[in-house]
Amino acid sequence: MTEEKAKGNADLPEKGTTVLMLGNPNVGKSALFNRMTGANAIVSNYPGTTVDFTSGTFIEGGHTYTIIDVPGTYSLEPRDAAEEVAVRMLRDSPDATVMIVLDATKTDRGLYVALEVMERGMPCIVAVNMMDAAHEKKITVDIAELQRILGVPVVSTTATSGEGVRDLAEMLRKAKVADIGAIAQRLRGEEQERESVRGCGGCGGC
């Protein structure tokens, strides 16, 4: 219950890029956070232990990232105290990069909040987590296609084993603001190639 906690945004470190880790409850955010920072965060099956948010730092490619584990939320229209905290944190750090964590077995629910974040015009990167569970349930997620549609980097991860976490860290610097209009167009089949992302979209694993 007593994770290292910061009381309000006054305590957030100023150096480097801030990364907000956002997603539904129980998508393995805390586990992913632990993998990336090795910090003293708690993984749990019920929402609530992450109300006091956890933050940590890691260095990738000579760049220091401050990463914050935002309480799990289903949408940006808050329903409870934890979700309120999530929304407030997004509002209070407009310059932050948002790492949206999806559960590969329940992508739809996570995508909803992902679209909400994208509408706010914040630079995003998407991590499709729990790939192992999806594999067990015979669910496949076309990462390359998802990346093409969303126009932001998409990485598949399995936080419990650490797969894809390295890629995720490397891709953070390629995070970009999604063009929500373009997403809608792509969904209607009206192609509008975005070379920079497309160039990487082919392999899917990166």
Partner 1 sequence: MVFSSDARWEMVDAITRQTVTYGTYKHTLGDVLGDLTVKPLTGIPVAFAALYAFWSVFTSFAGTLMTDGFMVKFFDGFWLPWMQSVWPDPASWHYFLFVGNPAADTCFEAFGMLTSGLFVSIGVVLPAVLVFYLMMTLLEDSGYLPRLAVLMDSVLHRIGLHGYAIVPIILGLGCNVPAVTATRILETKKQRFIMMTLLALFIPCGAQLGIMMSVLPDLVGIVMLCLIVGFCIFGFVLNKVIPGENPEILVDVPRYHWPVKEYVAKKLWNRTKGFLKEAVPFVLFGILVVNLLYLGGVIQGLANLLEPVFVTWFGVPKETVGPLIAAFLRKDLAIAQLSTIPMTTYQMVASVVLVTIYFPCVATFVVMLREGWKELIAAIVVLFVVVFIYGGIIHGIGILLGVA
Q: What residues make contact with partner 1 under the rule CB under 8 A? A: 1-3, 24-26, 40, 42-49, 51-52, 74-75, 79-82, 107-108, 111-112, 115-116, 119, 133, 137-143, 145-146, 149-150, 160, 180-181, 183-184, 187
- In the complex, least distance from residue 82 CB atom to partner 1, rounded to whole angstroms: 6
- In the complex, least distance from residue 43 CB atom to partner 1, rounded to whole angstroms: 5
Nearest to 50 by CA among 22, 70, 74: 70
Q: Which is nearer to partner 1, 40 or 196 (CB)?
A: 40
Q: Which is nearer to partner 1, 63 or 135 (CB)?
A: 135
Q: Which is nearer to partner 1, 62 or 189 (CB)?
A: 189
What is the secondary structure of 65-132 as a DSSP string?
EEEEEPPP-S-SS--SHHHHHHHHHHHH-TT-EEEEEEEGGGHHHHHHHHHHHHHTT-EEEEEEE-HH
Q: Which is nearer to partner 1, 45 or 61 (CB)?
A: 45
The helix/strand/coil state of 181 is helix
- In the complex, least distance from residue 14 CB atom to partner 1, rounded to whole angstroms: 27
- In the complex, least distance from residue 95 CB atom to partner 1, rounded to whole angstroms: 20
Dist CA 149 CA 45 (whole Å): 31
Quickly tell me which residue has 């906690």 as its tokens: 5
Asked whether 36 and 72 are in contact (CB, 8 A), the reply is: no
- In the complex, least distance from residue 150 CB atom to partner 1, rounded to whole angstroms: 8
